[in-house]
Amino acid sequence: MQVSVDRDRCCSSGMCVMNAPAVFDQDDRDSLVRLRQTTVLPEQFDDVRLAAELCPGQAITVTEDGTAQPGA
Ligand code: SF4
């Protein structure tokens, strides 16, 4: 699984950091999302899927088996 974020869509809610703090962070300057890693470990899959699903800006894209799934 790969994950990417669109900072232009991020509204700084911090939901992703709460759901998957090992993968997501917020920039100290503008509070927009930052990735700690782009490759997701198997034990993080559920947390990252949940973060993408709950992101209010639909700013998180999860790619599984080569298929991008924005907001899912
Ligand atoms: S949940 Fe979405 S909108 Fe909120 S900080 Fe993370 S990427 Fe940005």
Locate 47 and state its tokens.
Answer: 């947390």
The mean per-residue pLDDT over the stretch 5-14 comes to 98
pLDDT category of residue 66 using cuts at 50, 70 and 90: confident
18: pLDDT strictly greater than 70: yes
68: pLDDT strictly greater than 90: no
**Residue of 7, 19, 54, 60 with the most ligand 1 atoms within 8 Å of its CB, for mutation:** 60
Mean pLDDT of the chain: 94
Tell me, using a 6 A CB cutoff, whether residue 12 lines ligand 1. Answer: yes
Name the percent of the chain lying above pLDDT 70.
96
pLDDT score of 72: 55
Contact 41, 54 (CB under 8 A): no
DSSP string, the chain: -EEEE-TTT-----HHHHH-TTTEEE-TTT--EEES-SBPPGGGHHHHHHHHHH-TT--EEEEETTEEEET-
Domains of the chain: 2-70 (3.30.70.20)
